[in-house]
Amino acid sequence: MTTQPSFPELENDPLLCDVIEQNIHNLTRLRLESMRERTPQEKMADAITVFSGRMQFVYFHVVWFGLWIIINNGWLGIQPFDPFPYGLLTMVVSLEAIFLATFVLISQNRLSAEADRRADLALHIGLLTEHEVTRVLQMLDAIQDKMGIDNDQDSELAQLEVITKPEDVLAAIHRMEERVSNHK
């Protein structure tokens, strides 16, 4: 008998549970909408990519190549149509590789665009959250001042109360990456 994992913090806070459930529902709905909005060409490219990523694809090719070689070596008494070195097989496999690579790239481009949209959303939410937390810290500091609570020695708090500019953070990351890459 398996037991369900217990999350007491969710059981005690039905609002949080509802929020999580709603978020999961919204994310699932958005993912399904994205799948439905694919063009017929994208659906075909995805289907081919999914099939080519399965073991059935490998098995199919093992059987196909095996039969091709057996037939074209004359082992079954059938007149070879592509004798060794199997030029026709080489051409067919090369064409298959070209088309397969193209279908995979089409699927990857679409998935990359979706990943970019999700990253943009995550960045936006992160920036919004950072802004909200900064405002809350500023309000708490104002409440402390109003109540006469001294907290002026906390230099970290003062730094956290400053609104972060994403472009400054990106510039700092870029400078650090350059320093690290120059030391290699």
- pLDDT category, 12, cuts 50, 70, 90? low
State the virtual CA torsion across 64, 69, 75, 77 in degrees, nearest 10. Answer: 70
Please give the Cα distance from 34 to 23 (Å, whole number): 16
User: Residues of the chain with pLDDT > 90: what percent?
Assistant: 58
Rounded to two decimals, the pTM is 0.67
Mean pLDDT of the chain: 88
Structural domain spans, the chain: 40-182
| For range 106-125, the mean pLDDT | 93
pLDDT, position 16: 64
pLDDT, position 13: 60
- pLDDT category, 2, cuts 50, 70, 90? very low
pLDDT digits (tens, 9 = 90+) for 65-74: 999 999 999 9
- pLDDT category, 157, cuts 50, 70, 90? confident
Please give the Cα distance from 109 to 80 (Å, whole number): 42
CB atoms within 10 A of CB 103: 20
State the virtual CA torsion across 110, 115, 121, 123 in degrees, nearest 10. Answer: -140
Query: Dihedrals φ, ψ of 148, to 5°?
Result: 75, 25
